[in-house]
Amino acid sequence: MTSQLAVQQVSVHYGDFAAVTDVSMQLEPGQIGCLLGPSGCGKTTLLRAIAGFEPVSAGQIALHGQILSAPGKLTPPEQRRVGMVFQDFALFPHLNVERNIGFGLAGMNREERRQRVAEFLDLVGLAQYAKAWPHELSGGQQQRVSLARALAPRPEILLMDEPFSSLDTELREQLAGEVRELLKESRVTTILVTHDQYEAFAMTDHVTLLQEGRVAQSDTPYNLYHNPANEFVAEFIGQGAMISVTIDEAGNMDNQLGPLDRAHDHWQPGQSLKLLIRPDDIEYVSHSELRLKVAGKAFRGAQYLYELALADGQRVPCLTPSHVDVAVGGELPVHFDLRHVVVFRP
């Protein structure tokens, strides 16, 4: 089966500067993908190349098997059947909601356009706001109008460039979940560009994490978190601390971390390793004899996120219920559960 979108070994240059280098990814019909990474990693450049706003210097971009971009070939954006949702919503202030949604439907007769607009107003739950002006809507409602406008022409693929970045954190994650349901209902293939991993996890099926214009790892959100391919992925995804440990002849790690799981073989006595410690690798156990000094803490409502100091001064995270309230400088009784810890060899 031909993929809906196929990006094959694509590079994009600005003069001598390589903004994107040898990136490959593909999406099947109805799949929601993500380009994730820190500022300047090339994700927006790649999105613009997929949209047709930037030429590629190597590789190719194909939609339904039809090559749209390759060196010397650039199908214009308006011929790609690509919808776009921007971070600033880009609604027309002089048009009401229904006219904003119908803006891209000029080729349809009046009745067809009316029915299509009504369909997508219902899809995004804003039928009662059809006659409202953009300035009368909340940020979340404006973003839903922007989404409806992009979906109304039934694009082959939808591109979303940091669509929630102007909204507050709580609304971003809520809206990401709602938009995922809408996209799955409309069965449109989508690419989200974001620097926010929690937004990516709430919305997408597959994530391509970029580092300095190259693919660091392309995988499911679950595998990015639990099976990071390298230290960059491990440190970028989720909360955690990278610590150094030494293994003794019996296979025990220093800092009272206990034995290294036998799944992590090929170690040698005296060898130094790096461990990625997640907050859920350290459990609060009230009767534990192992007690670590509290170096820092952050209240998260239902939880405290503690920063604990190991014997050698390295620090690790621990999540506890919020009723476990130990002052900075005090000691927290804990148990290490490192059966699934991620190990890197220097």
Q: Is the pLDDT of residue 134 over 70?
A: yes
pLDDT (tens digit, 9 = 90+) per residue, 100-110?
999 989 888 99
Task: Give me the sign of the Cα torsion angle 134, 135, 137, 140.
Answer: positive
Report the candidate in 303, 195, 314, 239 with the shortest Cα–Cα distance to residue 207: 195
Backbone angles phi, psi at 121, to 5 degrees: -65, -40
Q: How far is CA 299 from the centre of its chain?
A: 25
Q: Tell me, what amino acid is at 168?
A: D
pLDDT (tens digit, 9 = 90+) per residue, 152-184?
999 999 999 988 887 777 777 788 888 899 889
Q: Is the pLDDT of residue 33 over 70?
A: yes
Give the Å distances, CA to CA, from 340 to 206, 237, 253, 259.
Answer: 22, 16, 15, 12
This prediction's pTM? 0.86
The predicted structure's pLDDT at residue 106: 81
Angle at which helix 110-123 crosses helix 169-186, to 10 degrees, equals 130
Strand pairing partners for 225?
A: none
**The two structure tokens encoding residue 266:** 């090929």
The predicted structure's pLDDT at residue 1: 53
What would the mean pLDDT of 260-286 be, rounded to a whole number? Answer: 82
Determine the longest span between alpha carbons in the chain, in angstroms. 79
Instruction: Report the share of the chain in percent with pLDDT over 70.
Output: 97
Q: Is the pLDDT of residue 346 over 70?
A: no
Q: Is the pLDDT of residue 266 over 70?
A: no
Q: Which residue has the tokens 């994107």?
A: 20
Q: Tell me, what amino acid is at 308?
A: L
- Sorting pLDDT into bands at 50, 70 and 90, what band is 294? very high
HSE value, Cβ hemisphere, 13 Å, CA-based, for 152:
31
Q: Is the pLDDT of residue 89 over 80?
A: no
Q: Is the pLDDT of residue 264 over 60?
A: no
**The two structure tokens encoding residue 108:** 């349809």
Q: Is the pLDDT of residue 191 over 90?
A: yes
Q: How far is CA 265 from the centre of its chain?
A: 32
Query: For the chain, what is the HEC assignment?
Result: CCCCEEEEEEEEEECCEEEEEEEEEEECCCCEEEEECCCCCCHHHHHHHHHCCCCCCEEEEEECCEEEEECCEECCHHHCCEEEECCCCCCCCCCCHHHHHHHHCCCCCHHHHHHHHHHHHHHCCCHHHCCCCHHHCCHHHHHHHHHHHHHCCCCCEEEEECCCCCCCHHHHHHHHHHHHHHHHHHCCEEEEEECCHHHHHHHCCEEEEEECCEEEEEECHHHHHHCCCCHHHHHHCCCCEEEEEEECCCCEECCCCEECCCCCCCCCCCCEEEEEECHHHEEECCCCCCEEEEEEEEECCCEEEEEEECCCCCEEEEEEECCCCCCCCCEEEEEECCCCCEEECC
What would the mean pLDDT of 8-28 be, rounded to a whole number? Answer: 96
What would the mean pLDDT of 231-236 be, rounded to a whole number? Answer: 93
| Structural contact between residues 4 and 28, judged by C-beta atoms closer than 8 angstroms | yes
- Sorting pLDDT into bands at 50, 70 and 90, what band is 189? very high
Backbone angles phi, psi at 46, to 5 degrees: -65, -40
- Sorting pLDDT into bands at 50, 70 and 90, what band is 21? very high
Q: Is the pLDDT of residue 265 over 70?
A: no
Q: Which residues contact 223 (CB under 8 A, 6 or more apart)?
A: 217
pLDDT (tens digit, 9 = 90+) per residue, 136-151?
999 889 988 999 999 9
The predicted structure's pLDDT at residue 247: 87
Q: What average pLDDT does the chain have?
A: 91
157, 186, 182, 168 alpha-carbon torsion, rounded to 10°: 20
What would the mean pLDDT of 42-69 be, rounded to a whole number? Answer: 95
The predicted structure's pLDDT at residue 44: 94
**Around Cβ 92, how many Cβ atoms within 10 Å?**
12
